[in-house]
Amino acid sequence: MADRAAARAVDAEELFFDALEGFPTVTMYLKFAFKSFQKQLAYKFEYFVGVVNGLLFIFIFTSLWKNIFDSSKASASSGFTMEGIVSYAVFAMIIRISMSQDDMGVMGKIRSGDIAMDMIKPYNYFGVTLAENVGGTMFHWFTRAAPILAVCLIFFDVSLPRDPVNYMLLAVTWTMGYLIYFMVNWLFAMIAFWVIETFSFQLMKYGMFTLFSGGIIPLDFFPDFIRPAVAYIPFMYILYVPTATFIGHIGHGEAMGFILFQGAWVAALGLVSALVWKAAQKKLIIQGG
């Protein structure tokens, strides 16, 4: 039975890619994404550990908020109710899991020198890296985010929004946030072209992401004098905006303004990523010469 199912899957894959023969570039990137998805299937134990860890973190965060949240004071200053903050804690963790990316792969290739082989191959390495991350992300969507969401809807006091507009806004803000996250990881990986030891830079990135993305503490609870500064760095647009928009904490009209900011960050980081990659290629050639 297992062999037959595997054979059917292979046949379906071949038919799918045969249908895209007229689009060679799209087919190439899809193949990289598909292979990345398949690669993740080899780590079944890590999958179960990831699900348990995700549920554990959600339990911890929701328990903490229930114990320390004073609905009368906090709702006046932040706009959250007890139910709202619990929903935020749950969905922020699920969205964070759904955005899982390999932020060390490119850096590892740079440090080992394997990046040179990718540079001479007839494809855009930035696009291939994005495709591989998308494939891994889809795996995390189906094997971690979806099961955790199902458990949370049953055992935690949360529910999905009823307004279909929330789901459309989530699709847009999640996609924008994902691209921002990918390019932030890409730019920090590029540091390895110029610096031998990158641990301190990675630590700085993780710290800023944890603090300013809103994954643990919603930005509404930040002091008033910090919020304007946080709005002009990319991290809040990765997790806070998709989560707050999805649960309705950010209204539909206000969400459009945030989407424009996300689009501006995608364009700006895309330009910087291209320029840094061009400079990195010259740096590698100089070192090789």
**pLDDT higher at 38 or 197:** 197
**pLDDT higher at 20 or 144:** 144
What was the pLDDT predicted at 195?
86
What was the pLDDT predicted at 113?
80
What is the b/e burial string over 214-239, where b = at least 16 CB atoms within 10 angstroms of the residue's CB?
A: bbebbbbebeeeeeeebeeebbbbbb
Q: Which of these, 271, 277, 263, lies nearest to 189 by C-alpha position?
A: 277
* Residues listed for the chain: 289
Sign of the torsion formed by the C-alpha atoms of 160, 161, 165 and 171: negative
Cβ partners under 8 Å of residue 58, min gap 6:
89, 90, 93, 94, 148, 152, 156
Residue 26 lies in a domain: no
What was the pLDDT predicted at 74?
57
Residue 102 lies in a domain: yes
Q: Are 142 and 135 in contact (CB under 8 A)?
A: no
pLDDT single digits (tens) 149-185? 999 988 887 889 999 999 999 999 999 999 999 999 9
Domains held by the chain: number? 1
Residue 24 lies in a domain: no
pLDDT exceeds 50 at position 288 = no
Place of tokens 């800023």: 208
Residue 10 lies in a domain: no
Residue 117 lies in a domain: yes
**pLDDT higher at 144 or 246:** 246
What was the pLDDT predicted at 18?
47
pLDDT exceeds 80 at position 130 = yes
Q: Which of these, 55, 238, 241, 58, lies nearest to 144 by C-alpha position?
A: 55
Provide the residue range defining the domain that includes 110.
Answer: 43-288
Sign of the torsion formed by the C-alpha atoms of 225, 226, 229 and 230: negative
Identity at 201, one-letter amino acid code: F
What was the pLDDT predicted at 1?
45
Residue 176 lies in a domain: yes
What was the pLDDT predicted at 237?
96
Mean of pLDDT values over 96-120: 85
Identity at 1, one-letter amino acid code: M
Q: Are 227 and 159 in contact (CB under 8 A)?
A: no
| Token pair in block for residue 176 | 């924008």
Of all residues in the chain, what percent carry a pLDDT higher than 90? 35
Mean of pLDDT values over 63-72: 70
pLDDT exceeds 90 at position 186 = yes
Residue 150 lies in a domain: yes
Q: Are 148 and 58 in contact (CB under 8 A)?
A: yes
